[in-house]
Amino acid sequence: MGYRFVRILVRVLVWALARVKVEGWENVPKTGSYIAVANHIGRIDPILMYYLLDRNDIIMLVAEKYRKRAFWRFFVRQVNGIFVDRYEADFSAMREVLKRLQKGGVLGIAPEGTRSKSGKLLEGRMGAAFLGAKSGVPILPVGVEGSDDSELIRRVKRLRRLEIRLHVGETYLLPTLKREEREAALEDYTEEMMCRIAALLPEERWGFYAGHPRVNDFIR
């Protein structure tokens, strides 16, 4: 079917299931490479980039467990996505992502590494920070509301569309990693990344980062 046809299907599907409102659209780079980092609360989240961005170089990372499902194997193949092992250091996947970022691609990734069933932020993992620091491309924080799986099911049963809200923050850059301070730096980078996402969400969604002093530093 190909990338273009799948993108049309995605747009029709998202349009049928949800109204998507974007706050801070002016912060989204119009060209060039960047990494969009967002909280993950619903299964519809990963395809929102294909709905919103008119680009053919989006990089999708999909958890290895979905390789067992025929639909996801088909979808990932059509959009040239990358399966990744979330629980092991998947160097092959990371190398491929970095290569595509260097060519100008756009990556969407959830630093939490998995979907939050409560809708509240989970503790971030260091993979997104590693890719940001290693690639040197801008980081675009995004806060997602309204796409919770439970809400999707409830609304579909009532033949009502979701009200998804994306809050887009300003881009920023991560300092280059130094080998002797790498792990500590990645922890700091991940913490800052998650606090920037939290600052774009209502306080009741802050979860693991509730009460963290850095969150207030990023609230405007």
Tell me what pLDDT residue 1 has.
60
Tell me what pLDDT residue 135 has.
96
**If you write DSSP's letter for every residue of 65-79 in order, what string do you get?**
GGGGSHHHHHHHHHT
Single-letter residue type at 208: F
CATH of 3-218, one of 3.90.75.20, 3.10.450.750, 3.40.1130.10, 3.20.20.80: 3.40.1130.10
Query: Among all chains, which residue has been given the structure tokens 């979860």?
Result: 207
Tell me what pLDDT residue 96 has.
94
Tell me what pLDDT residue 204 has.
97
Query: Among all chains, which residue has been given the structure tokens 């887009």?
Result: 168
Query: Among all chains, which residue has been given the structure tokens 């009532």?
Result: 158
Tell me what pLDDT residue 90 has.
78
Tell me what pLDDT residue 65 has.
84
Tell me what pLDDT residue 177 has.
87
Helices (H), the chain: 3-17, 48-52, 70-78, 91-102, 127-135, 149-157, 182-198, 213-218
**If you write DSSP's letter for every residue of 170-192 in order, what string do you get?**
--B-PPPP-GGGHHHHHHHHHHH
In this prediction, the residues of the chain whose per-residue pLDDT falls under 50 are none
Tell me what pLDDT residue 85 has.
82
Please provide the average confidence, as pLDDT, over all residues in the chain: 93
For residue 141, list its beta bridge partners.
37
- Domain spans of the chain? 3-218
Single-letter residue type at 206: W
Tokens of 71: 């639909």
What pTM does this model have? 0.93
Tell me what pLDDT residue 74 has.
86
Tell me what pLDDT residue 5 has.
86
| Alpha carbons 215 and 200: distance in angstroms, whole number | 9
